[in-house]
Amino acid sequence: MTDPIDRSGLAPEFWMRKPLSRMTRREWEALCDGCGKCCLNKLEDAETGEVALTRVACRLLDDESCHCAQYDIRHQFVPNCIVLTPGNIAEHAYWMPETCAYRLLWEGKPLFWWHPLVSGDPETVHQAGVSVRGITVSEFDTPEDEWEDHIIEEPV
């Protein structure tokens, strides 16, 4: 499968040398590993703040490619989809997947071997078993009061 994210022509290991706040738009977008985990619905306990991940996917997530089917115009369909930026990552990091490249770099950690920027291959995130490929159910078919039945551990 071809990589839906354009990672061509970027400086080698730019993510190790540049802070998030100084990355170009293309570099920032290339940090996404394509795992799809941020596109799963979460259940947040209002009292404890605890976040549980479910396998109920956003209506626009393609379960095979693990990418958003309408990324550029997604807000027409999903107005509350978050646009992650260096400026707001601090407020979102707590619910982001443990292996998300944005969270890892923000926490000062390295990227894993399976990240497409490291491996050079967009399939390695799936081969390593850390993506949502093949494990999701659609939010169209799953009423919200059943989401609790679909809580999963994050694949890491």
Instruction: Kindly list the distances between the CA atom of residue 82 and the CA atoms of 52, 71, 72, 129, in Å, as whole numbers in the listed order.
Output: 18, 12, 13, 25
Least CB distance to ligand SF4 at residue 9 (A): 20
Interface with ligand SF4, residue 137, by CB under 6 A: no
- Which region holds residue 50: left if phi is over 0, alpha if psi is between -120 and 50, else beta? beta
For residues 27 and 58, give the distance between their C-alpha atoms in angstroms, rounded to a whole number: 25
Which of 15, 23, 30, 33 is the binder for ligand SF4 (CB under 6 A)?
33
Interface with ligand SF4, residue 38, by CB under 6 A: yes
**Contact set for ligand SF4, span 72-111 (CB under 6 A):** 74, 78, 81, 97, 100-102
Query: What is the binding site for ligand SF4 (CB under 6 A)?
Result: 32-39, 58, 60-61, 68, 74, 78, 81, 97, 100-102
